Amino acid sequence: MQTCYPRFMVRKYLCSALLGVALALPTVAFADEADAQYRKGLELMQQGKHDDAQAALEEALRLRPNYAAAQLTLGNVFRRQKKCDKAVVQYEAVIKTQPNDPFAHGNLGFCYSMLGKPTDAIRVLERATELAPNEVQWRMSLGALYRQAKQYDKAVAQLDKAAQLDPNNADVMRNLAVALRQTKQLDRAAEVTKQAIRLKPGDSDLHFDLAVIYRVQQKTQEAIAAYRDAVRLNDKNADAWYDLGVLLAQDKQRQEAIDAFNKYIDLVGDKRGNSVEGVRQQIKGLGGTPH
């Protein structure tokens, strides 16, 4: 049996239905436009057009406040522009609505570190690594912050985990070796540094690090060889030339020590006044002529 409605009731229901459609359409349109502006901003950021990306993402947020993806990406734009104070605002806003977003925590940790807030950086990076245990970069940054805070055992633990996750990452290996050196684990520090050198054989700083470990261990010949590798790869490494001069003098290699000390003087000039004068005295004591 078909139900019949009076004509005024049909008109009433029809008007109500149309009113619902009219109210819904702008919401959908705004949502679509917000998504479009977000995608545009993301693409512009990837192209390195940061000012344009910022404008698009801010428009996305005007159309849809608390749009977490747009806030996170806008934070990344600010971070790339080294505007970490503005990036922090965006990352913190994401965390309020998405408390388990690992990227918001990780990037916020980087920004806190750059702003000189190591305690806050450690707190959020710890949370980031809980949320994303396999993220190497966050563990490496957390390890570096622990080292700065002189929490060396925690630093070694984080960097050990990062090295397990990415054993071919020379930067992770170098940071781990430094932390091991600070915990007096010199033999292991040397082995890890040599592993980093195998990954980046042309890195002068890694050879310098290995030389320092050998010098502390009083392995003079090994240290001299490593310092020589460091200056061969980068002859402007003033500290390596100085340390090499000291060891060569101890090893009775007089002329080579004089040459190394003079190279140090040539590189630093008058920027290290007291140090340079002391080096000149050492050269004279070896029977040489200082620069």
Q: Are 233 and 206 in contact (CB under 8 A)?
A: no
Give the chain's residues under pLDDT 50.
1-28
pLDDT of residue 272: 75
pLDDT of residue 30: 55
Q: 68-80 vs 102-114: helix axis angle to the nearest 10?
A: 30
Rounded-to-integer distance, Cα 222 and Cα 289, Å:
28
Rounded-to-integer distance, Cα 89 and Cα 40, Å:
21
Residue 151's SS3 state is: coil
Helices (H), 98-151: 102-114, 118-131, 136-148
Q: Are 217 and 186 in contact (CB under 8 A)?
A: yes
Q: Are 245 and 282 in contact (CB under 8 A)?
A: yes
pLDDT of residue 223: 98
Q: Which residues contact 172 (CB under 8 A, 6 or more apart)?
A: 136, 140, 159, 162, 163, 166
Q: Which residues contact 170 (CB under 8 A, 6 or more apart)?
A: 196, 199, 200, 203, 206
Give tens-digit pLDDT for 102-153.
Answer: 999 999 999 999 999 999 999 999 999 999 999 999 999 999 999 999 999 9
pLDDT of residue 19: 31
Q: Which whole-number Å values give the CA distances from 70 to 11, 34, 38, 43, 74, in the listed order?
A: 43, 9, 6, 12, 6
pLDDT of residue 18: 26
- Tokens at 93, concatenated: 């806003």
Total H helices, total E strands in the chain: 15, 0
Q: What is the pTM of this model?
A: 0.79
Q: Which residues contact 256 (CB under 8 A, 6 or more apart)?
A: 248
Among positive and negative, which fits the CA dihedral 190, 196, 202, 208? negative
pLDDT of residue 11: 34
Mind listing the domains of the chain with CATH numbers? 50-132 (1.25.40.10), 223-291 (1.25.40.10)
